[in-house]
Structure 1
């Protein structure tokens, strides 16, 4: 996947494309590389060409064990990274490479330039950030509480994908419940029309 193949860049003008390409920095990083710690302020937005990044909270935060909030793969966007870069606020989680990665770092200056000059980029990113940061905050608030259905739904939405390839076992491991609890509550969400379950992946409904 190349940088301009990201959906948010599809309607950029030639001038905006030139600005993006001239400022983007190509990176190659090994696995187990810390991209940022909770409390850092990001100055660049990461766009992945290949590899996987894990965004997680540490033990003793929100009275839970280490928990993966979501994984970043090519084509998906790290809302914690993006929100921190745009707002200048501290990150609310940590990010580490799970595999070696390739990608681009686009500096804050360029992101703000695109927000100010490209209506399509601004609408796409602001809508995405607003929805996903709201779901992320709800997910953090729900950790270790009884509303497993809502916790599952928030976790799924925070991934930022319409179709999530994952097993029930892995979800159970990530959010700290049994596989049976995950399967039972995913079925409830499917009956409500909020998701659709398929073998090996979950589809997020437009109703959410």
Structure 2
């Protein structure tokens, strides 16, 4: 059995035949900022993230970006699963957010395991269901919660030692807004004494106020 399988509990629990088929696959190391796919690309295989993080973005005609979801160890990519089970090409763009180790299961092997291995099939559908639930929650937040609430909640969730390392554009992509809107809201937060903005970062000055806003209805 390949080391990557033994280090991945969900795959280590598969039947011997499936593990043998997967053990021949090569582990790939990618640097931060590597592009895995772009809109219009055909789906070549199923990505298994061993370490690191991949972020999937959707871009609008106006240039705005929305981060749909991130793929970390144990998680799956919705667009990849849909493309492998159907014929759809990628609609978004996937970029490594930090150095990432992964294995690519080729389309032919993925489909064969889906047909022959109940354990592999259950693993794929369970990860797909979890990811779809997360996307529905994202749509609910973007549709029904105000930008201020989403921004406050995101800052609270991402803060480390009272600091969030992110540009205004990165924040906008993650909360489903525009950079200009995020900049105006952060300026308003700063005037209230809740945050302090620095180049590429936001310092949290009043976490209690942000948490209260985050819990407010949009």
Q: Aligned residue for 2:53?
A: 52
Which string of whole-angstrom CA distances, capped at 9 and with x for unpartnered residues, describes residues 58-103 of structure 1? 243xx67212122222332222223222323122311012223222
Write the mapping of 1:160-179 to structure 2, written as runs, cut at 5 A: 166-167=158-159, 173=172, 174-175=174-175, 176=177
1:12 aligned to 2:14? yes
Cα distance in 2, alignment partners of residues 128 and 182 from structure 1 = 32
Larger radius of gyration: 2
Partner of 2:84: 85
Gap runs ≥5 in structure 1: 157-164, 190-208
Cα distance in 2, alignment partners of residues 33 and 18 from structure 1: 29
Structure 1's 185 and 16: CA in aligned 2 closer, same or farther, altered over 3 A? Answer: farther
Contact 1:81 1:91 in 2 (8 A): yes
Aligned partner of 1:126 in structure 2 is: 125
Give me the TM-score of the superposition, normalised by structure 2: 0.61
Cα distance change, pair 111–8 in 1 and its aligned pair in 2 (3 A): farther
Alignment partners' CA distance in 1, 2:212 and 2:80: 33
TM-score, L = length of structure 1? 0.64
Q: Which runs of 5+ in 2 are unaligned?
A: 190-208
Partner residue of 1:104?
103
Cα offsets for 1:102-129 (capped at 9, x unmatched)? 2211111221122112212212322432
Give the number of equivalent residue pairs. Answer: 173
